[in-house]
Amino acid sequence: MKLLGSCMAAFLLLLCTFSMQAYAGDIRSEQVAAMRSIDMKLYDFYMTYNQGLELCLSTCPSHADMLDDASGTLAALLDGTVSSIRGEHHKVINFMNYDADLLTANKKIYSRAAGCTPCVATAKRVQKYAQEGLPSGISRAALLHSEKYKQTPELQFTDGLLSRVRYRWVANGKKRSCRVLMPKTWEHVAPERAGRGFEFRSALGNGVPFFAIEYAPAKRIYSEDKILAALQHRVSAEMLSRQFGLVEILAQGVQKLGNTQSVWVMFAADGKGKNGAGYYYNWYMMVDGTLLMFQSGVNGPGRTPTPEQEQLFRRYYQTLREIAVSSVIG
């Protein structure tokens, strides 16, 4: 479980990182559980427009030219990505049945009774996507299926394609915020406790890097020495073990950010509860009576950290730091 040695000390400024919108999707088949949520969201998005435009050709022949143009535009935007999704998941998902379920739902939207209004709106929307870009979640999912990402998935950490998200909270009546710069291929995962944090996770698969922000009310302390003592207690092996199971502390330190005292710790953990086994980097600070924890790492459902997790942590921690240094608490 030993990791990184003295080079750990360089990994100090991981305050805020990474993103990607999480999509639960409308699961119409048990088989769809085998498909990544972002793939399912994109596939549903494409089929809704594709099937809708086909239905509209029969219900609104007077708009055939507009509908044909929109169909061609949609194909240029997403046909390649949808083919990639089908190729990746065809062994576990019956797309013929899945498409039939989608068609049943779309017939209710693009019915003869509805007239041409939804058809014209759909065609105009597709052309708008061609001019202004696809919705952010869809474009992120498509990015993962581009040839360069399929060949080199680690590009999501290094190509500079970042989204900016501002996370806000209130501490003792004061508004606080954190600007988070995250790779566009990261998902925003629903937190365990509503309103108490954010979590972002790479979409590449289980065990890949993640980043989370959690906050909780804390007793307000004015003495810097007492604040430091309280924070250092948080990163003790005893306290960490209560949350993460058996831990091995790999490195830790103290960092002052302006007037804000903070401590950080890197550790390997066997996992406990919602915190899976793996490698973690946690940063704690007190801000106006609020305890903030910024956490990143690599974890999974196993009972002990794995060599693969260690390899991922070694591989990406420096890059993640470089992304993180541009993040700001204000």
Query: Tell me: the pLDDT tens digits for 247-297?
Result: 999 988 888 777 778 888 989 999 998 888 999 988 888 877 788 888 888
Residue 118 · residue 109 · CB < 8 Å? yes
Number of helices and strands (H, E) in the chain?
10, 10
Any residues with CB less than 8 A from the CB of 287 and at least 6 apart, and which?
171, 176, 260, 329
Any residues with CB less than 8 A from the CB of 215 and at least 6 apart, and which?
169, 171, 196, 197, 290, 291, 292, 293
Query: Tell me: the pLDDT tens digits for 73-110?
Result: 999 999 999 998 998 888 888 999 999 999 999 898 88
What is the C-alpha separation between 227 and 218, in angstroms, rounded?
A: 11
Q: Is the pLDDT of residue 172 over 80?
A: no
User: Which structure tokens are listed for 108?
Assistant: 């209710």
Q: Is the pLDDT of residue 2 over 90?
A: no
Query: Tell me: the pLDDT tens digits for 30-78?
Result: 334 445 677 888 999 999 999 999 999 988 999 999 999 999 999 999 9
- Band of residue 232 on the pLDDT scale cut at 50, 70, 90: very high
Q: Is the pLDDT of residue 9 over 50?
A: no
Range 24-30 contact pairs with CB under 8 angstroms and sequence separation of 24 or more: 28/98, 28/101, 28/102, 29/93, 29/94, 29/97, 29/98, 29/101
- Average pLDDT of the chain is 78
**Burial class of residue 23 in the structure, from the number of CB atoms within 10 Å of its CB (0-12 exposed, 13-18 middle, 19+ buried):** buried
User: Which structure tokens are listed for 109?
Assistant: 């939207």
| Residue with the larger pLDDT of the pair 26 and 144 | 144
Torsion sign, CA atoms 130, 135, 140, 145: negative
Instruction: Domains for the chain: give ranges and CATH numbers.
Output: 5-18+161-329 (3.40.1000.10), 30-145 (no CATH)
β-pairing, 174-183 vs 162-171, is antiparallel
User: Which structure tokens are listed for 202?
Assistant: 């790479």
Q: Is the pLDDT of residue 224 over 60?
A: yes
What is the C-alpha separation between 289 and 162, in angstroms, rounded?
A: 31
Residues for the chain: how many in total?
330
pLDDT for the residue 289: 76
Tell me the pTM. 0.62
Q: Is the pLDDT of residue 137 over 90?
A: no
Q: Work out the widest C-alpha separation in the chain, in whole angstroms.
A: 77
Q: Is the pLDDT of residue 230 over 50?
A: yes
